[in-house]
Structure 1
Amino acid sequence: MSPTVTQVGDGTYLVGGTDVNWTVLTDGDAVTLIDAGYPGDERLVLESLRSLGFRPEQIAAVLITHAHIDHVGSLPGLLRRATFPVHTSEREARHARREYLEQATALDLVKRIWRPGHLRWSLAITRAGAARHVRVPEARPFPGGGPLDLPGRPVPIVTPGHTSGHTCYHLPESGAIVTGDALITGHPTSRVTGPHLVAPFFSHDPAGTLAALDLLEPVAADLILPGHGPAHRGPIKEAVALARERATPAR
């Protein structure tokens, strides 16, 4: 398997790994990596960087949308190769350090294994290391406020719900927003395509996940870079409205 690297703007790339995405922002000889896939995606993360002409030593920082294993899994391996800061919201930094854990359990998945797409997806993520215990003790809160002094000049927007400290990243210079799992466009366990919410059992607080859309609606962005599914072009206000229409009660 090879990563799918899609350029979506100047110095902005959405990369697909094992049914999950990460974003690469480039500026000169440095990169910002937003999220990092499963433990088994480490090779794919490295390959995606290499395909763009970068080495792990050129990572200026890794930003985390949230600390589920499909978004932080390769970080311990990457940090053994190079030294770089890892940032997220103050609450989510504690989650990444595994001071607590907010994640769907194996039982949650087993109870739904009969549903379309769940078995194939479960087997794929198990091979990618979904059952491993991963912690990122290096995770720390963002320095300062406003745009971060990193490639892409990302602006954090804390969107609690999917996890207590989930964070999206606005990229004003490219009119994009990295939404993690606050707003996705596709998932192997879902028959829905286009902007929608993850299935409620994936979220720590499903009602909060829905409410977090209020924080995304006013953002000046017309390009959504989700944690799952392809990039979506169109005003985020319209994407949020569609996601609200498609939202289902928690189950």
Structure 2
Amino acid sequence: MTVETVAAGVHLVRGSAVNWVLVVDGQAVTVIDGGYPGDAGALEASLTAVGREPGDVVAALVTHAHVDHVGGLAPLAARVGFPVLTGPAEVRHARREVVEQAGPADVARHACRPRVLAWAVHAVRLGALRSVAVPSATALDEPLDLPGRPVPVPTPGHTSGHTAYLLPDAGALVSGDALVTGHPTTARTGPQRLAAFFDHDPARAAVALDALAPLDAGVLLPGHGPAWRGTPEQAVAIAHSRDAGGT
């Protein structure tokens, strides 16, 4: 686990396979996503690393409810009792009333691709096959009176209710898995979309990028890969170029 301060009070935490974000304002913390089940200890350690503790968390925001984004968050939320908020269309997914994520059969169909098998083995060790639900998840209600003044940006496609979050005071965009800068299944770096088999609706996920392009930010904080300095417009253009066969 590494913790990178990307702006005043904004910290990108990189686990071994996925990221989450801590937004600190005084003693209060907003957590955005929370890693795999195996990242639960690292999530708490990241709070300690920025001088806070679980009791300082006032709310958690979820970009989407895949196991690698809520697995480490669920037990902390259940123990501490802070609200877990996500896009209205994502609530049923977070509660596991529906499931919209690649399963073992989907991964197996792509296991012959370089890096996919190694990633899958590591993901299983982190708890990828566990059934994780956040029964307390509720739909976010704007405006959000939380540290960082996060602004939800609907970006459906990766899941039906995927939501990115703009942190306007910090000039940062938390893009979740709508737009990443790397992933263990690829050697490619820089702004890009995840492999299509990870998306619930790949065509819709491609269109969702356009919702990010006009946003005012100077740093991208993705669900996978390092922070990227540049505007969302530039990042989206790079990702679209790669979708079209560019490098």
Give the TM bin, normalised by the shorter chain: over 0.9
Match of 1:212, SS state, is: helix
Deviations 1:47-88 (A, max 9, x none): 000111111111010000000000000123102431100001
What is the deviation of 1:17? Answer: 1.1
**Residue in structure 2 matched with residue 166 of structure 1 by the alignment:** 162
Return 74-83 or 94-103, whichever deviates more: 74-83
**Long gaps (5+) in structure 1:** none
Cα distance in structure 1, aligned partners of 2:101 and 2:111: 17
Specify the SS of the correspondent of 1:239.
helix
Structure 1 runs of 4+ with >6 Å offset = none
Cα contact 2:77–2:83 (8 A) shared by 1: no
Equivalent pair of 1:57/1:83 in contact (CA under 8 Å): no
Q: Is the 8 A contact 2:43 2:73 kept in 1?
A: no
Partner of 1:139: 137
User: Which residue does the alignment assign to 1:219?
Assistant: 215
Which of 155, 165, 171 matches 1:175?
Answer: 171
Of all paired residues, the percent bearing the same amino acid is 53
The 5 Å alignment of 1:1-251 reads 3-143=1-141, 145-146=142-143, 148-247=144-243
Does the 8 Å contact 1:66/1:165 carry over to 2? yes
Q: What's the Cα RMSD here?
A: 1.1
* TM-score for the superposition, normalised by structure 2: 0.97
Structure 2, gaps ≥5 residues long: none
Deviations 1:77-136 (A, max 9, x none): 102431100001111011101111110010111122222111221111111100000111
Distance (Å, rounded) in 1 between the aligned partners of 2:162 and 2:192: 16
Q: 1:248 to 1:37 in 2, by over 3 A?
A: farther
Secondary structure of the corresponding residue to residue 245 of structure 1: helix
Number of matched pairs = 245
SS at match of 2:58: strand
Separation (CA, whole Å) in 2 of partners of 1:128 and 1:59: 24
Distance in structure 1 (CA, Å) of the matches to 2:10 and 2:20:
11
Alpha-carbon contact 1:18-1:124 (below 8 Å) kept: no
**Is contact 2:77-2:84 (8 Å) kept?**
no
Question: 1:248: Cα distance to partner?
Answer: 5.8
